[in-house]
Amino acid sequence: MNWSDVLIDFQMRLGAPEELRWLVVAITYFIGAFLLVNASLVLALLLIWITRKIVSRIQDRIGPNRQGPFGLFQTVADALKLLSKEDITPANADVIAYALAPILAVFPVLMSLAVITFAPGFVGTDLNVGVLYLVALGSVGIMAALMAGWSSNNKYALLSGFRVVAQLLSYEIPMVLAMLAPVLLVGTMRTQELALAQSLYIGPVNLGLGWFVFILPGAFLIYFISALAEAEQTPFDLLEAESELVAGFHIEYSGMRFAMFFLAQFLNAFFLGAIAVMLFLGSWQGPFADQIPLLGPIYFLAKTFLVYLLIQWVRGTFPRVRIDQMMSFAWKVLVPLVLVLILSQMILMKLPMPVWGGWIPYVLVLLANLGAVAIVLSVLGRFYSRNEITTKRAFDPKSLIGTTVPVSQAGD
Amino acid sequence: MLSQYAFILMLSGIALLIPVAAIFIGHWLGPRRPDLIKNETYESGVETIGDTWVQFRAQYYLIGLIFLIFDVEVIFLYPIAIAYRNLSIFSVLATVTFVVILILGLFLEWRKGALEWE
Amino acid sequence: MAELFPLPPLPTFAQVVFMGIALLTVVGSLIVVLSRNLFHSALGLIAAFFGAAGVYFIAEAEFVGVSQVLVYVGAISTLIAFAIMLTRGMMFGVTSPRNRQSGTAAIITALTFVVLTALMNATPWPQAGEPITDGEAVIARIGSMFVNEYVVAFILLALLLLVSLAGSIVLARDRK
């Protein structure tokens, strides 16, 4: 039973006439959707605050600390400020595409709320094509970035728009194929079914620890890296590289229109984390989640916030990659690896096994995944331990001002 | 099943309404004092030279094409994954062949240098 | 009152939604054809794609609908926008939607519409056994049909995609 069925049944038993059932359904759905969307708007304020706090701590700053306890209301103040800003449309901009782009950027992000499993019985609606629905929405946002970049009549914006598309298109493929791994394991695309499949029974008690990350760590790692790129977070934030492109495809936007892009970006990072939790980290499952229903949403939100924190940690510590490195990492490392991973999982799941050995395919799949993890980590390790990365120099500078090399080693 | 999509419909209505309302309120609350300099294209304080819409390299188009082809192949893999548990050995072989051809295509791109970003 | 003015029966909820979606599709298509700015034509095409996806959803073909959004809205419209941006003369400046062949095109379009409608009405659509009500079973059925009944077409499709990958390299690589 999903929340909407319970509520509709309740209203029908209160004495709503049967011929007005469609109205009851519509009102229930409307209220549910309205609450979800508005809760996520408040969530965005919180997320921006979290990001600013974490990144400033990593950079040895304090971050917002004046408005309210721990500076919690700083983002509220920022939102109010953006609300009172002038709404500028630059000269020669393509007015229609310029106005539509921020709306189209927020739309797919909010739509992904529909299949997020907050708790048993609390998913907007349990679509039969749930996972594919999320994938499809992810590809709609690409067009919004391209529209914004093209319509602004700004060279930076257009450059950034092209980069966004190249990046999002390249990382969409490994992400979608990594999301295929749990679907292949269970044989369903419904998010609530996927959550139920990640339980672990010892006798009659559900430990709730049968997370797919324990069987598919390789797919999880590839999903996580691709999600970083899809969320436009720092190792892959070429599209808004402040030192090169000033701000990215939304450079000409001001006021609330700019806020829409900002909102879309932060909520997207959070929801990509939520998808990781739904597919790999056990959704709302956890110890005693069956006995105490309240633990379900707590587990889900706690895990999602942890993944979000991880994303922000990566954002605060890793240097940005170059566009050719980004493209070759997607097409030459992630895509072949995830294809081989899916292929091996397909073969291993169908190997003839003795009756008692139902668990053997899972162990073999786990081994294949661990191999994938080792390959990704060794590629990343070799990349990040290269000299030009550790000294933060892509070329030999004329002077060493601004680098971290000690004076004694300085050659000039 | 259609009632599930009634929820999607409601959500899409609200998801469109919220940004439109926010932008409208912002437009209504904010000042409106456009002038020539303010509305000019931003380019680090200098005047823009030449057209914005410069021609771009064909490599972006190539990436788009490769993405489209892989996207189509992924679409085929998802329903097979749903049915995978009950498939016969013959069907599994067909699926494996499909994925192997996909990998071959990727290596073809690689060998031909389509994945090099210059 | 009701006897004096016999009202047509009220449309059901699904019909109202269908009308909205059909309107979106038609208006989008008209923008594609009539807009003087090629990029706006591409935007109209996206609206039409969304409309088509909506029609699939109403017909309870959810998998086809999602595929429509993923492939057409996600990939093909981006590709079309790229193609417009890469073609220098088309990007800015106004192109006229009319040319000498517009009259012929209109006639052929109208004829195609008539023929398609007649075909749809005349075809005895086969009903394949019991309709499956469980949406997930439908998707599983599609999946198993790919690799059983239509396996030859499935493998040929993989080869076709391989050939188109090779073709894309020949077409789109920078010539040196």
**Percentage of chain B exceeding pLDDT 70:** 80
Where does the pLDDT of residue A412 fall: very low under 50, low under 70, confident under 90, or very high at 90 and above? very low
What is the predicted pLDDT for the residue at C111?
95
Neighbours of C102 (CB within 10 A): 12
Q: Which residue has the tokens 């060998």?
A: B111
Min Cα distance C167 → chain B (Å) is 10
Verify whether the Cβ–Cβ distance A158 to B54 is below 8 Å: yes
Chain pair A-B, CB pairs under 8 angstroms = 215
What is the predicted pLDDT for the residue at A404?
59
Q: What is the longest distance spanned by two Cα atoms in chain A?
A: 87
Verify whether the Cβ–Cβ distance B2 to C14 is below 8 Å: yes
Distance of alpha carbon C67 from alpha carbon A139, whole angstroms: 11
DSSP A333: I
Asked if pLDDT for residue A156 goes beyond 90, the answer is no
A275-301 confidence digits (pLDDT tens): 999 999 888 887 877 777 788 888 889
Instruction: Select the more confidently predicted residue: B40 or C112.
Output: C112
Q: Is A54 in contact with A309 (CB distance < 8 Å)? A: yes
Q: What value does the mean pLDDT take over residues A317-329?
A: 79
Where does the pLDDT of residue A240 fall: very low under 50, low under 70, confident under 90, or very high at 90 and above? low
A contacts of B14 (beta carbons < 8 Å): 30, 33-34, 37, 110
Asked if pLDDT for residue C172 goes beyond 70, the answer is no
What is the predicted pLDDT for the residue at A322?
75
Q: What value does the mean pLDDT take over residues C39-59?
A: 89
Min Cα distance A14 → chain C (Å) is 24
Q: Mutate which of B10, B12, B53, B110 to disrupt the C interface (most C C-beta within 10 Å)?
A: B53
What is the predicted pLDDT for the residue at A222?
92
Is A99 in CB contact (< 8 Å) with chain C?
no
What is the predicted pLDDT for the residue at A314?
86
Q: How far out from the chain centre does Cα C82 lie?
A: 19
What is the predicted pLDDT for the residue at C8?
65
Q: What is the full DSSP assignment across C10-79?
A: PPPHHHHHHHHHHHHHHHHHHHHHH-SSHHHHHHHHHHHHHHHHHHHHHTT-HHHHHHIIIIIIIIIHHH
Where does the pLDDT of residue C110 fall: very low under 50, low under 70, confident under 90, or very high at 90 and above? very high
Q: What is the dihedral of CA B58, B61, B63, B65, to 10 degrees?
A: -130
What is the predicted pLDDT for the residue at A75?
84
Q: What is the full DSSP assignment across C74-116?
A: IIIHHHHHHHHHHSHHHHSS---S--TTHHHHHHHHHHHHHHH
Verify whether the Cβ–Cβ distance C67 to B102 is below 8 Å: no
Is B62 in CB contact (< 8 Å) with chain C?
yes
C contacts of A26 (beta carbons < 8 Å): 13
What is the predicted pLDDT for the residue at C156?
92
Verify whether the Cβ–Cβ distance B67 to A335 is below 8 Å: no
Selecting from B62, B68, B79 the residue whose C-beta is nearest the C-beta of C146 gives B79
Asked if pLDDT for residue A409 goes beyond 60, the answer is no
B contacts of C70 (beta carbons < 8 Å): 71, 75
Q: Rg (Cα) of chain A, in Å, rounded?
A: 23
Where does the pLDDT of residue A410 fall: very low under 50, low under 70, confident under 90, or very high at 90 and above? very low
Asked if pLDDT for residue B86 goes beyond 80, the answer is yes
What is the predicted pLDDT for the residue at A14?
80
Min Cα distance B5 → chain A (Å) is 8
Asked if pLDDT for residue B65 goes beyond 70, the answer is yes
Min Cα distance B55 → chain A (Å) is 11
Distance of alpha carbon A147 from alpha carbon B23, whole angstroms: 17
Q: What is the dihedral of CA A392, A395, A400, A405, to 10 degrees?
A: 40
A69-114 confidence digits (pLDDT tens): 887 888 888 888 888 888 777 777 778 888 888 898 899 999 988 8
What is the predicted pLDDT for the residue at A66?
80
Instruction: Select the more confidently predicted residue: B113 or A27.
Output: A27
Verify whether the Cβ–Cβ distance C70 to A136 is below 8 Å: yes
Q: Looking at this protein, which amino acid is placed at residue A43?
A: L
Verify whether the Cβ–Cβ distance B79 to C139 is below 8 Å: yes
| Contacting residues for A127 by C-beta, under 8 A, at least 6 apart | A114, A115, A133, A189, A190, A191, B4, B8, C62
- Which other chains touch chain C, taking contact as 3+ CB pairs less than 8 Å apart? A, B
What is the predicted pLDDT for the residue at C1?
45
Verify whether the Cβ–Cβ distance A146 to C63 is below 8 Å: no
- Which residues face A117 on adjacent strands? A123
Where does the pLDDT of residue A239 fall: very low under 50, low under 70, confident under 90, or very high at 90 and above? low
In degrees and rounded to multiples of 5, residue A387 shows phi and psi of -60, -45
Min Cα distance A248 → chain B (Å) is 12
A178-231 confidence digits (pLDDT tens): 999 999 888 888 888 888 888 887 777 777 778 888 888 999 999 999 988 888
What is the predicted pLDDT for the residue at A387?
59
Selecting from A26, A138, A143 the residue whose C-beta is nearest the C-beta of C78 gives A143
Which residue is closest to B101 within chain A, CA to CA? Answer: A339
The vertex-B36 CA angle with B30 and B41, nearest 5°, equals 85
What is the predicted pLDDT for the residue at C89?
56
Verify whether the Cβ–Cβ distance C39 to A94 is below 8 Å: yes
Which residue is closest to B78 within chain C, CA to CA? Answer: C143
Q: What value does the mean pLDDT take over residues A301-315?
A: 89
Asked if pLDDT for residue C35 goes beyond 60, the answer is yes
Verify whether the Cβ–Cβ distance C169 to B60 is below 8 Å: no
Is B85 in CB contact (< 8 Å) with chain A?
yes
Instruction: Select the more confidently predicted residue: A410 or C102.
Output: C102
